[in-house]
Amino acid sequence: MTPAETFAVLDAAAWRWKREHQRDAWLAWHTAMLARTKKMPSLKRLLGGGETKVLEGEELERRRAEKQAFQEAFDVEVINAAMQKGKRGR
């Protein structure tokens, strides 16, 4: 592994650790708060989400253009082939 690859792996591990810590803190806080509630909220309300927004007009066209630009910028077949080559090389 090159030094650049080593630093990339370390950066990814640090990011993953930070995200895991944030997730665990969120879970601990919500568990403590739910233990204090007198009436438990419904699961639907607790999970959030809500209704899916149907896109129309300019917003729909903008999102379609973004998707097309992304697909053109990142050739999925080339990326997949490179990933498969990397797996076989290890």
- Regarding whether 62 and 33 lie in a shared domain, the answer is no
Residues 38 and 56 both lie in one domain: no
Domain final residue, candidates 49, 64, 80: 49
Same domain flag for 5 and 42: yes
Digit-coded pLDDT (tens) for 45-82? 888 777 778 889 999 999 999 988 888 888 777 777 77
d(C-alpha 64, C-alpha 55), whole Å: 11
CA angle 33, 38, 40 (to 5 degrees): 70
Contact 63, 55 (CB under 8 A): yes
Which residues 6+ apart lie within 8 Å of 34 measured at CB?
Answer: 40
Q: Are residues 68 and 44 in the same domain?
A: no
Is the separation of the CB atoms in 41 and 47 below 8 Å? no
Both 39 and 78 in a single domain?
no
Q: pTM for the full model?
A: 0.47
Shared domain check, 90 and 76:
yes
Range of the domain at 32: 1-49
